[in-house]
């Protein structure tokens, strides 16, 4: 294995050849395996265990490979998660690295990549939002535009525009998500979009910083509504000098860093200086700024304290599930929290879940210098994180005063979120069981019960797309969703579209099933009534597949939700499950998800077509009405482009001369 920048690595591979006798309570390990384990070096590294099918079972790190790996084969782990894992090991790989920090990095990169069955896994979530402050271009004092007054003095529009600076000279505060750019300043991460919006509103209320796009800034000749409601100081039209605006930006950045008292003292000093010079209007503006800042800080739900940047982590484990609730304090302000739900928890202890979170989460997210945790954290892990990030990290699990209040809040939220998850999963399992019972199905394992649902979407025949969404393990599996672009059919022919998507989805799978290598879904849902189900029946019959798996979801009287009926391809009578049926709720959930997925795909495809179809709008003599008729007649811009001159002439209002013009313009 390459070192991936972690320094020199050595890979050692061993075949364990252990006994797989299921009657043994404890797996017996042959002498040669124990000799191989005993020969491992006493160095830091990462180990990986594989089963007979070459699936990765577990990835772990160790300061001492020999000591750590030996513990798996020398102890009786009983019927625990680790015990089950050890009983399946048939092969092992180890990689030697230079330090525990390198082992930590490699271990968690492998965990995220390989997704081992017995590791506690935290799924990759959306990136965290940040507050971004663009950096203004420095301007010399003699080059800066001169304004008549500070903070709100009025000048006429033409004079204001001539005085106004460029947007590059005036920093802008915005919400941001993505890779950071060193040319600008970023504050965060924040636990939610709401927290970023709230911070931006604070800066608008107190410092009146601009949030507009550069294009808007460039084209203003008079101040916008934000200036009128005192949320922007109007730098776009010269109502504040670049220097004064930059001073407000600096104060805002200090406030975001938690330097609240210093900011207040600086504003107060400026206010007193203006008052001594008898500049009462400017002094009044700064007084109002101080008042706004005091009011906003007073309204904070959690009082600011001495801590600047802190993460609070509380863990709750129950019923084979776990929740890690992460609360964030940035710049001394509590910004809210976010729950995480790992998989493969089983019988893991809370401390084990917490350490797994710390190891995986802070690979991609900046770690603050202080952590408050519900359980003690291994000092070696903290040392590895410190070496990895270059930030001295401390963790406290028995905090006092305000920190204790924060931890209690985080723990309460972890309890609530986990209880909600367990309730939702219990409800979803009940729905799955109700659907199986209602349709008289007999899956081998309810946990593996799989449903695939299809829907067709288009706009007047344009950009037809089909969607396939997947449900198993009692939840929607978005990673397995698929979209199909439908071509070669008459625009608006939903039956032909359904035929095409089903053939494309199941033709190869049918061959695999006949060869004993594939497995069909337990249920195939079709969003439609008898017509769509008949089409699905023809496809399945031609492929030699079981017709009883096909069920159509037919809209009820008045197309009202809750009145849907189920239509069967194998000849059974239609079934109405009842408005309050748990089975119908699940069917509706899956059907609605298929519809949503199809609609979003169709809209994206249509947007692409229309961007390409803008040529049609530029052809002289083709106005909105003729363009609409052409698109409707040929099923979209692509159909118009493929049409011959003779075909174009068949459209009402299109002469032969205009048809030739359209034909030439689109080629």
Indicate the Cα dihedral angle 404, 421, 339, 389, nearest 10°.
110
Chain segment 186-243, per-residue pLDDT in tens: 887 787 787 788 888 888 888 889 988 888 888 888 888 888 888 898 888 888 888 8
For the domain spanning 446-608, the CATH number is 3.30.420.340
Report which DSSP code applies to 613: T
Write the DSSP symbol of residue 194. H
- Give the SS3 label for residue 276: helix
- CB contact at 8 A, 110 and 61: no
CA 243, CA 442: separation in Å to the nearest integer?
75
Write out the DSSP string of 488-550: SS-TT-HHHHHHHHHHHHHHHHHHHHHTTS----SEEEESSSHHHHHHHHHHHHHHT--GGGE
The Cα 493–Cα 12 span in angstroms is 60
CA neighbor of 60 nearest in space, from 118, 113, 13, 15: 118
Percent of the chain exceeding pLDDT 70 equals: 84
Contacts of 50-55 with CB under 8 Å at 24 or more apart are: 50/89, 50/90, 50/91, 50/92, 50/93, 51/88, 51/89, 51/90, 52/20, 52/88, 52/90, 54/91, 55/117
What confidence tens digit (pLDDT) does each residue in 328-348 have?
887 777 778 889 888 888 778
Assess whether the region 10-114 and the region 446-608 belong to the same CATH fold: no
Contact 334, 190 (CB under 8 A): no
Q: Tell me how far apart the alpha carbons of residues 563 and 573 are, in angstroms, rounded to a whole number.
A: 16
What radius of gyration do the chain's Cα atoms show?
32
What average pLDDT does the chain have? 80
Q: What is the pLDDT of residues 7-34, one digit of tens each?
A: 444 444 444 444 444 334 345 655 666 7
Low-confidence ranges of the chain (pLDDT < 70): 1-33, 79, 123-127, 136-164, 289, 292-307, 558-559, 604-615, 635
Class of domain 10-114: alpha beta
The pTM of the whole model exceeds 0.75: no
Boundaries of every domain in the chain: 10-114, 130-139+148-298, 310-420, 446-608, 613-665
CATH node for 613-665:
1.10.150.20
- CATH for the 310-420 domain, from 3.40.109.10, 3.40.50.300, 3.30.420.340, 3.40.470.10: 3.30.420.340
Alpha carbons 457 and 460: distance in angstroms, whole number = 10
CA distance 261 to 234: 27
Bond into 386 cis (ω within 30): no
Tens digit of pLDDT for each residue in 244-295? 888 888 888 887 777 777 777 777 777 888 777 787 777 777 777 677 666 5
Element (H, E) at 174: strand 173-176
């Amino acid at each position: 294995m390459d070192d991936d920048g972690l320094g020199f690595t050595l890979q050692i591979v061993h075949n364990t050849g252990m006994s797989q006798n299921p009657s043994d309570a404890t797996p017996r390990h042959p002498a040669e395996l124990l000799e191989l384990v005993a020969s491992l070096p006493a160095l830091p590294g990462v180990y990986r265990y594989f089963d007979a099918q070459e699936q990765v079972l577990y990835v772990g790190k160790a300061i001492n490979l020999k000591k750590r790996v030996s513990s798996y084969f020398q102890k009786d782990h009983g019927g625990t998660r680790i015990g089950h894992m050890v009983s399946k090991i048939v092969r092992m790989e180890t990689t030697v690295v230079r330090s525990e920090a390198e082992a930590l990095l490699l271990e968690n990169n492998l965990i995220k990549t390989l997704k081992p069955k017995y590791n506690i896994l935290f799924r990759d979530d959306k990136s965290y939002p940040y507050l971004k402050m663009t950096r203004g271009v420095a301007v010399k004092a003699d080059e800066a535009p001169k304004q008549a007054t500070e903070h709100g003095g009025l000048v006429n529009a033409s004079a204001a525009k001539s005085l106004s600076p460029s947007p590059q000279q005036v920093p802008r505060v915005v919400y941001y998500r993505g890779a950071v750019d060193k040319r600008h300043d970023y504050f965060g991460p924040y636990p939610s979009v709401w927290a970023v919006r709230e911070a931006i509103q604070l800066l608008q209320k107190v410092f009146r910083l601009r949030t507009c796009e550069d294009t808007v800034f460039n084209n203003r000749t008079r101040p916008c509504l934000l200036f009128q409601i005192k949320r922007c100081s109007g730098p776009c039209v010269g109502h504040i000098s670049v220097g004064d605006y930059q001073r407000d930006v600096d104060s805002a950045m200090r406030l975001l860093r938690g330097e609240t008292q210093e900011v207040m003292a600086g504003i107060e000093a400026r206010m007193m200086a203006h008052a001594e010079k008898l500049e009462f209007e400017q002094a009044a503006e700064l007084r109002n700024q101080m008042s706004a800042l005091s009011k906003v800080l007073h309204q904070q739900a959690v009082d600011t304290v001495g801590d600047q940047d802190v993460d609070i982590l509380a863990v709750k484990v129950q019923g084979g599930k776990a929740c890690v609730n992460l609360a964030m304090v940035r710049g001394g302000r509590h910004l809210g929290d976010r729950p995480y739900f790992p998989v493969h928890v089983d019988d893991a202890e809370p401390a084990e879940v917490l350490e797994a979170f710390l190891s995986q989460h802070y690979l991609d997210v900046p770690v603050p210098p202080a952590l408050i945790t519900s359980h003690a954290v291994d000092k070696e892990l903290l040392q590895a994180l410190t070496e990895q990030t270059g930030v001295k990290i401390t963790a406290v699990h028995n905090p006092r005063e305000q920190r204790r209040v924060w931890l209690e809040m985080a723990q309460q939220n972890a309890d609530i979120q986990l209880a909600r998850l367990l309730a939702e999963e219990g409800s979803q399992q009940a729905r799955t069981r109700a659907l199986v019972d209602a349709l008289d199905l007999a899956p081998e394992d309810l946990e593996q019960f799989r449903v695939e649902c299809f829907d067709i979407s288009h706009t007047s025949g344009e950009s037809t797309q089909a969607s396939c969404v997947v449900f198993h393990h009692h939840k929607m599996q978005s990673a397995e969703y698929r979209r199909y672009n439908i071509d070669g059919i008459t625009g608006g022919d939903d039956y032909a579209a359904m035929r095409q998507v089903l053939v494309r989805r199941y033709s190869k799978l049918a061959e695999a099933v006949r060869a004993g290598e594939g497995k069909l879904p337990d249920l195939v849902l079709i969003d439609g009534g008898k017509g769509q189900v008949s089409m699905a029946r023809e496809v399945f019959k031609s492929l030699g597949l079981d017709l009883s798996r096909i069920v159509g979801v037919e809209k009820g009287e008045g197309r009202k939700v809750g009145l849907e009926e189920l239509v069967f391809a194998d000849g059974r009578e239609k079934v109405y499950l009842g408005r309050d049926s748990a089975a119908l709720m699940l069917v509706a959930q899956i059907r609605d998800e298929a519809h949503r997925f199809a609609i979003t795909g169709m809209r994206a495809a249509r947007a692409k077509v229309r961007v390409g179809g803008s040529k049609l709008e530029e052809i002289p003599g083709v106005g909105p009405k003729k363009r609409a008729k052409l698109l409707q007649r040929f099923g979209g811009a692509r159909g118009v482009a493929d049409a011959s001159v003779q075909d174009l002439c068949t459209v009402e209002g299109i002469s032969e001369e205009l048809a030739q013009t359209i034909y030439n313009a689109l080629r």
